[in-house]
Structure 1
Amino acid sequence: MTMAFPQKSSQILRKGRFAAGTPGRRAAVMAGVAALAIAGVAGTSRLIAQIEGDRGIAPVMTSQDIEVSGIDVDVTGKTGADARLAGWKEAEKLAWKKIGGPDMPIESIDAMVSSVVIEREQVGPHRYIARLGVIFDKAKSGGIITAGGTITRSAPMLTIPVLYSGGVAQVYEVRGPWQRAWAEYQDAQSPIDYVRPSGSGGESLILTAGQVGRHSRLWWRNLLDQFEASDVLVPVARLERQWPGGPVMGTFTARYGPDNRFLGSFRLKAANEQDLPRMLDDAVLRIDQLYRGALAQGLLTPDPTLTAGQAVYDGAFAELRDKLMPKASDLPTAPQAGPQITLDQTVLGETAEVSVQFATPDAAAVDAALAAVRGVPGVRGAATVSLAIGGTSVMRVSVVGGAERLAGALKAQGWNVSGGGATLRISR
């Protein structure tokens, strides 16, 4: 057994789902930032000012060992050192009981402990008071308890911790205590697969408190794809300070999904600013319990409107079109000398790939442009390949008849269309 000091993030290996850790994902996030910079040369300095500096705290890496945190002990001994050792043994027994381990001698339990994490401690001449964490070696304890291997895990969930403090909402704008608590949370044994961004670079621009209030599925699908997540979790903390240096009241709420659905809430109290980290750590554990309960009830199943592919939407549009438009067999017929022209023959030509650039000052502009293009007869598919809110985004369109047919249809809708060949630029 080894001792790990309070700097948990630097002393203990963590599980490590880094939301921006893979090169592909980081490239996708930075692509939007690059598009913003190209779109407005005059705003380059402002953009740099928004993303420079320390914006967030990277999630600590975790191993798959079994960790139990938040064990409080208060023991006495002949000396401070004896009391401290007795406190560690007591924490190991309590942690083993907490994860459902069978009755065993303390020597056998101690042999399975890989380290003890000191969250805080006070050592006196004959007394030891501390809050400890105990990490059990999975290789030694996994065959005795089932906490490490048979648990059902959720789909990857993008986690956006929102903090309301002093009337201001923040996520990664500054290094806040609520985001720190989630970054340092030991989630190895939680059934929830938390995807925790670090808030660095362009992440601080797209993951904001305002984002959780958006309902656009197109917007959320592009965002979740960047972080390889299936849905979103929003743990919310609202801090109220009674007076400077006095107690801090915290209201904590667990929300999830693109519609920001409510799961549960509770209130905690910190005696002062020094006690605030302890309260936030307790809040993270309780919110994790709320998410665990929701998973057990089947509430954390990814929203099908987020995971559905483009083919599902194309099918829905086709079904709606069939309901609104009369069938060819229902149309009145008249004698004609030439061959009969059916409804399916109104769109002629070969399918071509067209790149469409469009201004996107906000998320509503993205939805409007995609809806306009997808509504053009002959369009087989349209999806954004580069998203830049406040700049120019790009979509790739598969259309029968090529760019000329697409341009003509968009002009008929009132769009300004320029360019030629396989590239068009549209605007209102």
Structure 2
Amino acid sequence: MALGFPRPTRQKTRVTIAERISRPTPIIALLAALCAAGVLWAQLERGDQRGVNPIDGSGSYEVSGVEVDIAARDAETARSAGWRAAQRKGWAMLWARTNGQPEAAAPRLPDSTLDSIAGAIVVEHEQISAHRYIASLGILFDRARTGELLGAKGAVRRSAPMLVIPIEWSGGAPISFELRNQWQKAWARFRSGNSPVDYVRVSGTGADPILLNAAQTRRPGRGWWRMLLDQYGAADIVVPEVALQRQWPGGPVIGTFTARHGPDGKIVDSFTLRAETSEGLPAMLDKGAARIDAAYVRALQAGELRADPTLVIENAPAAEEIPIDDVLGQLAQAASTVVPIQVDTPDSVMLRSAEAALRGVTGITSVETASLALGGVSTFRVNFAGPVPALREQLISRGWQVEDAGGGLRIRRAPPAPPASAR
């Protein structure tokens, strides 16, 4: 008899689809978490790609392209000496540019004074070795401290506030504030304080990508433009554009720049620049922004950078002008009537009593003493809110005898009634 072992039985368990969904496997849960994290990261990336705050909106004087070549015993000493020399050369260049004279005629300032007026040094390009420093630098001079030393006088003509909407064409598609781009960064780096054009630059956050896009710059309707200009505190629009053409990845980049003005996109200037490599694109865009600003400045000086009259809300027709003296006279006449009142004032007690009695009359707003005569007749000038007959009735009702006297009134206290005779 063969020994047998009981065969194991498998218990079948039925699981519905709802239960499978309600009890996800660890792999499914992990995939769901990764998808949620990916969506959140994409949102953060998209939010981070929008918005570039303007770097410098101050009114500092800027001098760029200051070349220095200094040799010293070590790299740090050479660099410090190079910055000192750049401040001296930058001051001479700024003074010559402001006063229209050669750099050699600029007054020599001690290094301590230059340190106090130089706000910052911008490194455009530098090469440092063990004993030599070669660089191209930019110097920012504080406007408040440097203005007195420059000796420049006279008011500078400035434009109306101009809303800036930079447009970059790349790959055949225009981009404004929808995504962070190199052209937007270039206008954020541009130091607008040195320009007579009053640029209104936005950061590109919030509703800016929706309101200030490439399609808006081609919209001719004035009503929407008026709303935008009022919201951003501007009076006109400038649209600097650049169309980028890349020869091959990492190779030369050709930029066609166009300076437009107004809601109709009037072309002020157009030019082409070239960067030999992709690394040189930011420098090319900075140069393009400076040239576009120079084009707007020339248009401003020529009287061509004027606000479109259709962007100004028309006011209602002015009413007929009325002299202010006539208006004040009518208001005073409608408000009160000035009446001179003569009163017998044998002493100061009677003077105070009459003045107090007049102030207590309904409708009299003020009492002034026009002429004082103790022992005779004094004159008061009263302002009464109403006609003279009404004032007369008020005084009679208070026991005064009233007579007409030279355009005014003469009042006396009524004598007491005689006592009744006894029978």
TM-score by length of 2: 0.58
Q: 1:216 to 1:98 in 2, by over 3 A?
A: farther
> Cα–Cα, structure 1 residues 251 and 146, in superposed 2: closer, same or farther, change >3 Å?
farther
What's the counterpart of residue 162 of structure 1?
Answer: 167
Given the superposition, is the C-alpha separation of residues 202 and 292 from structure 1 closer, same or farther in structure 2, using an over 3 Å criterion? same
Amino acid at match of 2:92: K
Match of 1:75 in 2: 69
Match of 1:103 in 2: 106
Distance between the aligned counterparts of 2:119 and 2:45, measured in 1? Answer: 42
Deviation string 1:164-214 (CA, Å, 9 cap, x unpaired) is 111111011111010011112111121111101111111101111111111
Look up the equivalent residue of 1:183 and give its one-letter code.
A
Partner of 2:58: 63
SS in 2 for 1:151: coil
* Aligned-partner Cα distance in 2 for 1:205–1:100: 44
1:216-236 CA distance string (max 9 Å, x none): 111211111111100000111
Alignment partner of 1:303 out of 276, 301, 308: 308
Contact 2:160 2:235 (C-alpha < 8 Å) held by counterparts: yes
Letter in 1 for 2:233: E
Alignment-mate amino acid for residue 67 of structure 1: E
2:156 is paired with a residue of what secondary structure? Answer: coil
- 8 Å CA contact 1:52–1:201 kept in 2: the answer is no
Query: How far did 1:281 drift?
Result: 1.1
**SS at the partner of 1:238?**
strand
- Aligned ranges 1:272-421 → 2 under 5 Å: 272-309=277-314, 311=316
**Cα distance in structure 2, aligned partners of 1:179 and 1:60:** 12
Q: Is the 8 A contact 1:71 1:91 kept in 2?
A: no
Structure 1 position 149, deviation (Å): 7.5
Q: Are the counterparts in 2 of residues 114 and 135 from structure 1 also a CA contact under 8 Å?
A: yes
Which protein shows a greater Rg? 2
Which of 224, 241, 246 is matched with 1:241 structurally?
246
Displacement of 1:51 in angstroms is 8.6
Post-superposition shift, 1:150?
Answer: 3.0
CA contact (8 A) 2:163 2:201 kept: yes
Q: TM-score, normalised by structure 1?
A: 0.57
Measure how far apart 1:87 and its partner are.
Answer: 2.7
Amino-acid identity (%): 43
Match of 2:276 in 1: 271
- TM-aligned CA distance change 1:201 to 1:94, over 3 Å: same
Task: Give 1:55 deviation, angstroms.
Answer: 1.6
Task: Verify the 8 A CA contact 1:74 1:127 in the aligned structure 2.
Answer: no
Q: Report the CA distance between 1:279 and its aligned residue.
A: 1.1
Shift in alpha-carbon separation, 1:149–1:197, aligned structure 2, 3 A: farther
Distance 1:163 1:82 in 2: 43
User: What is the distance in 1 between the residues matched to 2:87 and 2:260?
Assistant: 34
RMSD over aligned Cα, in angstroms? 2.7
- Kindly provide the amino acid, as one letter, of the partner of residue 285 in structure 2: L
Deviation at 1:52, TM superposition (A): 4.9
Tell me how far 1:125 sits from its aligned partner. 2.2
Equivalent residues of 1:75, 1:86 under 8 A apart: no
Partner in structure 1 of residue 82 of structure 2: 87
How far apart, CA to CA, are the structure 1 residues paired with 2:152 and 2:124?
A: 23
Task: Kindly indicate whether the alpha-carbon contact (under 8 Å) linking 1:65 and 1:137 is maintained by their aligned counterparts in 2.
Answer: yes
Distance 2:196 2:169 in 1: 27
Q: Is contact 2:253-2:274 (8 Å) kept?
A: yes
Distance 2:200 2:130 in 1: 44
CA contact (8 A) 2:164 2:239 kept: yes
For 1:51 and 1:168, locate their aligned partners in 2 and report how far apart those are by CA, in whole Å.
Answer: 18
Unaligned runs of 5+ in 2: 1-42, 97-104, 319-423
> Relative to structure 1, is the Cα distance of residues 91 and 286 closer, same or farther in structure 2, using a 3 angstrom cutoff?
farther
Q: Which has the higher contact order (CA 8 A, sep 6+)?
A: 1
Is the partner of 1:150 in helix, strand or coil?
coil
Which one-letter code corresponds to 2:93 in the other structure?
Answer: K
Letter in 1 for 2:123: I
One-letter code aligned to 1:274: E
Relative to 1, partners in 2 of residues 1:72 and 1:59: Cα closer, same or farther, differing over 3 Å?
A: same
Structure 1 residues 194 and 148: CA distance shift in structure 2, 3 A: farther
Deviates more, 1:241-250 or 1:71-80: 71-80
- Amino acid aligned to 2:296: Y
Distance 1:84 1:177 in 2: 30
Structure 1 SS opposite 2:107 = coil
How far residue 277 of structure 1 moved from its aligned partner, in angstroms, is 1.0
Contact 2:56–2:192 (CA under 8 A) maintained in structure 1 = no
Q: How far does the alpha carbon of each residue in 1:128-154 deviate from its partner, in whole angstroms, 9 at most, with x for none?
A: 233322121223211132679832211
Q: Show structure 1 runs of 5+ residues with no match.
A: 1-47, 315-428
Cα deviation, residue 65, structure 1:
2.9
Check conservation: 2:68, 2:85, Cα contact below 8 A.
no
